[in-house]
């Protein structure tokens, strides 16, 4: 996704409501027959978090993060947060999926961005190691962003 598209996406989702295309298909149905849209209401904290993530990606794409080459990055919100928001439930845990970086690298990029822009908001990164014996195949990073 280009920086310009991401900026447009940021503007689109910088409101308190976001629309997410969803589809449910029955066996044998053509996917063009069931296009619907679900609305998700964002809290101010969620709006701020998404904006922070998009701004950190812009910094990376502009080459402003030392130690990381400028590159396009696609970030998606996934997991229970999406389910809970669709069900109008309160949720405080947002899972982020990144297409071309490890979770630890992305957390470091986010941490560096915060150090450069909001020094008092820098938080510690927690790392949960991969453990294939317990079906945990990817290393995961955790970070509190307020």
Average pLDDT, the chain: 77
Summarised one tens digit per residue, pLDDT across range 102-111 is: 889 999 999 9
What pLDDT does residue 137 have?
Answer: 79
Summarised one tens digit per residue, pLDDT across range 10-58 is: 444 434 445 455 544 445 555 554 456 677 788 888 888 889 999 999 9
What pLDDT does residue 122 have?
Answer: 67
User: CA 83, CA 95: separation in Å to the nearest integer?
Assistant: 11
What pLDDT does residue 29 have?
Answer: 56
Mean pLDDT score, 53-78: 89
Higher pLDDT, 75 or 2: 75
Mean pLDDT score, 93-99: 89
pLDDT of residue 124 exceeding 50: yes
How many CA atoms are closer than 13 Å to the CA of 124, on its beta-carbon side?
2
User: CA 81, CA 101: separation in Å to the nearest integer?
Assistant: 21
| Chain-centre distance for alpha carbon 63 | 20
**Tokens describing residue 128:** 């949960």
- Looking up tokens 């920086």 gives 3
Q: Hey, is 45 helix, strand or coil?
A: helix
User: CA 119, CA 36: separation in Å to the nearest integer?
Assistant: 42
Higher pLDDT, 110 or 3: 110
Higher pLDDT, 46 or 5: 46
Range in 62-66, 95-99, 132-136 the model is least confident about: 132-136
| Residues 95 and 79: beta-carbon distance below 8 Å | yes
How many residues in the chain? 146
What pLDDT does residue 88 have?
Answer: 85
């Amino acid at each position: 996704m280009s920086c310009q598209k991401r900026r447009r996406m940021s503007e689109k989702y910088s409101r308190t409501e976001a629309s997410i295309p969803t589809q449910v298909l029955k066996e044998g149905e053509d996917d063009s027959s069931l296009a619907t849209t679900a609305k998700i209401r964002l809290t101010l904290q969620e709006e701020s978090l998404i904006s922070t993530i998009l701004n950190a990606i812009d910094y990376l794409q502009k080459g402003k993060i030392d130690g990381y080459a400028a590159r396009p990055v696609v970030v998606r919100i996934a997991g229970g947060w999406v389910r809970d928001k669709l069900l109008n439930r309160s949720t405080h845990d947002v899972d982020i999926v990144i297409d071309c970086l490890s979770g630890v690298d992305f957390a470091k990029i986010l941490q560096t961005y915060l150090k450069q822009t909001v020094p008092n908001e820098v938080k510690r990164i927690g790392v949960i190691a991969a453990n294939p014996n317990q079906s945990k195949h990817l290393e995961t990073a955790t970070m509190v962003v307020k």
